[in-house]
Chain A
Amino acid sequence: GQQVMQIPQYQHVQEGEDFTTYCNSSTTLSNIQWYKQRPGGHPVFLIQLVKSGEVKKQKRLTFQFGEAKKNSSLHITATQTTDVGTYFCVGGFQKLVFGTGTRLLVSP
């Protein structure tokens, strides 16, 4: 079946450092969504990318969809403690498939 892998599995940064998580699919995606899950919380929708090569920004967050529509990345500039949580990419096939997630820890 379709699989969506994310790397790294876990990253610990100092506040102010940048962070990037990468998402890779075994097959071409129709779209990709990103969700954030705070510790003890539930996934919350961040953004959706549909077009090949698309780049979207939300304040310090930059999302990119690969040209081949098989990979995506989320980059956070100058992390803050409020960025702590697990970031999931969700691959759009005929249905949505959650990636393995990247857990981000930010130390003040």
Chain B
Amino acid sequence: EAGVAQSPRYKIIEKRQSVAFWCNPISGHATLYWYQQILGQGPKLLIQFQNNGVVDDSQLPKDRFSAERLKGVDSTLKIQPAKLEDSAVYLCASSLVGGRSTDTQYFGPGTRLTVL
């Protein structure tokens, strides 16, 4: 079974530029999560989709971050414009059903973003 795929793996941009990340979850997984992990900290949930609907985006900085999940499969996370404090690893995860705290999340390798 293929795991969660993410691209790119690394990205370096200058502040005020835009950047987009892509995630392909495990086939058949209904729920997709985007996390931000700053160096030395635990992952922080940015947004959770169930199929193509948003379940939780309470910690997403909506003035600069946006995310979509077209057709309930792939997802993109965009930052526009980027700030220095956005430097982090952006992790995508998926779970089979979602919406329950007992779901196991499967994580992708992450995208390491450096904002200069």
Contact = CB atoms under 8 A, between A and B. Distances in A.
B110 A31 contact: no
Contacts of B109: 41-42
Of B44, B48, B101, B103, most A-chain CB atoms within 10 Å: B101
Nearest to A96: B101
Given A42-B107, A42-B108, A43-B91, A50 B102 contact: yes
B102 A48 contact: yes
Contact of A96 (B91, B105, B107, B108): B105
Given A42-B109, A43-B43, A100-B41, A92 B91 contact: no
Interface in A37-62: 41-45, 48, 50
Chain B's interface: helix, strand, loop or mixed, by majority? Answer: loop
A96 to B, nearest CB: 6
Contacts of B54: none
A100 B40 CA distance: 9
B101 A98 contact: no
Given A48-B102, A50-B102, A100-B41, A95 B48 contact: yes
Interface residues of A, number: 21
A42 B91 contact: yes
B56 A98 contact: no
B22 interface: no
A88 B42 contact: yes
Interface in B79-114: 91, 93, 101-110
A59 B109 CA distance: 26
A101 interface: yes
Contacts of A95: 45, 48, 56, 101
Nearest to B95: A96
A36 B101 CA distance: 18
Interface of B: 41-45, 48, 56, 91, 93, 101-110
Given A44-B107, A96-B45, A101-B42, 4 more contacts: A43-B107, A88-B43, A95-B45, A96-B105
22 contacts: A30-B102, A42-B107, A42-B108, A42-B109, A43-B91, A43-B105, A44-B107, A45-B106, A48-B102, A50-B102, A88-B42, A88-B43, A95-B45, A95-B48, A96-B101, A96-B105, A97-B45, A98-B42, A98-B43, A99-B42, A100-B42, A101-B41
